[in-house]
Amino acid sequence: MLWLSESAVAGSAVFQVPDTADLQVIVDAVVLQPSCELGVRGQAVSSQQAVRTGQAIASDGLGRARLRFDGSMAATLYRDTCLDVAALNSAATRLRLFEGTLSVETTGATLILDTPETRISAVGTVFIHYDALKKATWVIVKRGEATVSNASVEVTAAAGQQTWVESNQRQCRQRRPGGTLLDCASSPG
């Protein structure tokens, strides 16, 4: 079964197959590869390409790309980001962010995003940054809400709030960047 989905490229459309997403390169330096974990470089993407479950997208240096799902979700990958596509279907979109920055917009659909230390379940407009060196995850919620959890702590941030996890030890929530600290929770041990 094929259906037509609108493309972000003016005057064009893309045929989208179930369990795929459309990848559009905004700024060159984006590659499609087998996995972020394997460290295997893939093929450069120059304009637009279908992405399937089990593939990874990496942006280097100044690279930036837009990933469009079934019409209810889109994600923008910024420079120095590596993202594995774990599941693309109507039940749930599941991604794994190994490093870098991602912004996601959903309209009713739930995104489940894993980093090596956390799981994020988000609906709305959410900005996510994972720093692999510091093993820290930062989530800012512009619209909707995001639940961020690690081995033993779970925090839900609503629109206008942010939360972060540092090395799987501490999680905090604020009203806005630089705003009043609402609460912090530490993992036992």
pLDDT (tens digit, 9 = 90+) per residue, 51-83?
999 999 999 888 999 999 877 889 999 999 999
**Which residues lie below 8 Å from residue 147, measured CB to CB, with a gap of 6+?**
120, 121, 122, 154, 155, 156, 157
DSSP state of 176: S
pLDDT (tens digit, 9 = 90+) per residue, 86-122?
988 766 789 999 999 999 998 878 889 999 888 999 9
> Which pLDDT belongs to residue 10?
34
Nearest Cα to Cα of residue 14 among 89, 59, 67, 55: 67
Pairing of strands 154-158, 119-131: unpaired
**Assigned token pair, 18:** 């179930």
Has residue 19 got a pLDDT over 50?
Answer: yes
**Assigned token pair, 19:** 């369990």
Phi, psi of 158 (to 5 degrees): -100, 175
Distance CA 11, CA 66 (A): 17
**Assigned token pair, 27:** 């700024």
> Which pLDDT belongs to residue 109?
82
